[in-house]
């Protein structure tokens, strides 16, 4: 049975993406899934799109930065000043073929032959770009989740939730992984982990929601690129954290004339 690598929020960071793909080669990945935001923030737009094309995603969805980069009216979707500058710069980098590649991605989809749904933000209104940070947000998403597993991104903060069967008497929604990121997550401190990987065993009758974090711009105080692997035979989801050459990525951001803060965030991990 195949192993699926789940990638999210690459954000034009080819150095981080290459480190993740090197790890995937060692793991032995059969298929690649993508949760959106291939572009934005960082400087390696064209290379990341070329790398993504070669991965031949089994399924992929569009992120908000991809979506705004495709707009022809010049709007920046309410982004902050630095993100808006990066989007305007990204638009100038995109070829017609690049645009076609991004436009082909829907806002949500199911993965053929699997119990997996993909969305960048939330299942109810994916194009509204809402965030999932805690069990309250997760409960709303579970209301629209028909598959056993849903993978999402968008927040750049990895977190995972388990919708426990009512008959088991457990919590309706259990937080099974949380990373320190802000005061909205009361479980963060006690669950904070810096392990290289974390594996969740999937149980029959449960539903799972995994926000897998970001490859290209982590915001959980851990600078390593984050991605996940779904093993359909072992019935596990493992989230990996992979170091990469941050200085190289920062140099590209600075050389492109993008805001310095976008480069600094890579070494801050937030």
Coil, helix or strand at residue 198: strand
- CA 155 from chain centre, in angstroms, equals 8
Lowest model confidence (mean pLDDT) among 13-17, 27-31, 204-208 = 204-208
What is the pLDDT, as a whole number, of residue 75?
84
Residue 144, token pair as written in the block: 């629209």
Residue 187 has pLDDT above 80, yes or no: no
Cα-flanking dihedrals φ and ψ of residue 17, to 5°?
Answer: -65, -40
Average pLDDT in the chain:
89
Instruction: Quickly state the pLDDT bin for 179 (edges 50, 70, 90).
Output: very low
Q: Assign 3-state DSSP to the chain and report helix, strand, coil percentages, each to 5.
A: 35, 20, 45
Residue 180 has pLDDT above 70, yes or no: no
pLDDT, mean of residues 189-216: 81
Residue 170 has pLDDT above 70, yes or no: no
Coil, helix or strand at residue 54: helix
Instruction: Quickly state the pLDDT bin for 31 (edges 50, 70, 90).
Output: very high
Q: What is the pLDDT of residues 95-136, one digit of tens each?
A: 999 999 999 999 999 999 999 999 999 999 999 999 988 888
Residue 169 has pLDDT above 90, yes or no: no
CATH class of residue range 3-268: alpha beta
pLDDT, mean of residues 77-90: 92
Distance CA 59, CA 116 (A): 10
**Beta strand residue intervals within 120-202, DSSP E:** 149-152, 159-163, 173-178, 197-201
What is the pLDDT, as a whole number, of residue 37?
97
Return the percentage of the chain with pLDDT > 70, whole number. Answer: 89
| CA-angle at 227, arms to 225 and 229, nearest 5° | 150
Q: Does residue 189 or residue 103 have the better pLDDT?
A: 103
What is the pLDDT, as a whole number, of residue 191?
46
Q: What is the 3-state secondary structure (H, E, C) of 67-80?
A: HHHCCCCCCCCCCC
Cα dist. 74→71, 87, 128, 180 in Å? 6, 10, 19, 36
CB atoms within 10 A of CB 2: 14
What is the pLDDT, as a whole number, of residue 105?
97
Residue 260 has pLDDT above 80, yes or no: yes
Domain ranges of the chain: 3-268
Instruction: Quickly state the pLDDT bin for 164 (edges 50, 70, 90).
Output: confident
pLDDT, mean of residues 126-150: 90
Residue 140, token pair as written in the block: 């709303």
pLDDT, mean of residues 231-238: 94
Instruction: Quickly state the pLDDT bin for 189 (edges 50, 70, 90).
Output: very low
Residue 214 has pLDDT above 70, yes or no: yes
pLDDT, mean of residues 245-250: 97
Distance CA 122, CA 150 (A): 10
Q: Does residue 105 or residue 141 have the better pLDDT?
A: 105
Contact 77, 119 (CB under 8 A): no
Coil, helix or strand at residue 86: helix
What is the pLDDT, as a whole number, of residue 181?
38
Q: What is the pLDDT of residues 63-77, one digit of tens each?
A: 999 999 999 887 887
């Amino acid at each position: 049975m195949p192993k699926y690598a789940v990638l999210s929020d690459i954000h034009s960071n080819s150095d981080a993406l290459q480190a993740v793909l090197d790890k995937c080669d060692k793991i032995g990945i059969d298929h690649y899934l993508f949760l959106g935001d291939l572009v934005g923030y960082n400087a390696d737009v064209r290379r990341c799109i070329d790398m993504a094309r070669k991965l031949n995603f089994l399924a992929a969805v569009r992120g908000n930065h991809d979506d705004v980069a495709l707009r022809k009216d010049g709007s920046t979707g309410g982004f902050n000043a630095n993100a808006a500058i990066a989007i305007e710069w990204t638009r100038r980098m995109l070829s017609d073929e690049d645009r076609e590649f991004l436009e082909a991605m829907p806002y949500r989809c199911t993965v053929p032959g699997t119990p997996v749904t993909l969305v960048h933000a939330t299942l109810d209104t994916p194009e509204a770009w809402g965030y999932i940070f805690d069990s309250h947000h997760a409960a709303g998403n579970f209301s629209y989740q028909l598959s056993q597993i849903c993978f999402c991104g968008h927040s750049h903060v990895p977190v995972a939730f388990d919708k426990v069967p009512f008959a088991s008497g457990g919590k309706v929604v259990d937080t099974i992984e949380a990373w320190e990121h802000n005061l909205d997550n009361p479980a963060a401190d006690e669950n904070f982990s810096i392990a290289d990987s974390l594996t969740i065993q999937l149980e029959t009758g449960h539903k799972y929601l995994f926000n897998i974090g970001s490859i290209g711009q982590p915001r959980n105080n851990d600078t390593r690129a984050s991605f996940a692997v779904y093993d359909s035979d072992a019935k596990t989801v493992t989230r990996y954290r992979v170091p990469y050459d941050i200085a190289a990525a920062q140099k590209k951001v600075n050389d492109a004339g993008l805001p310095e803060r976008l480069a600094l965030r890579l070494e801050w991990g937030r």
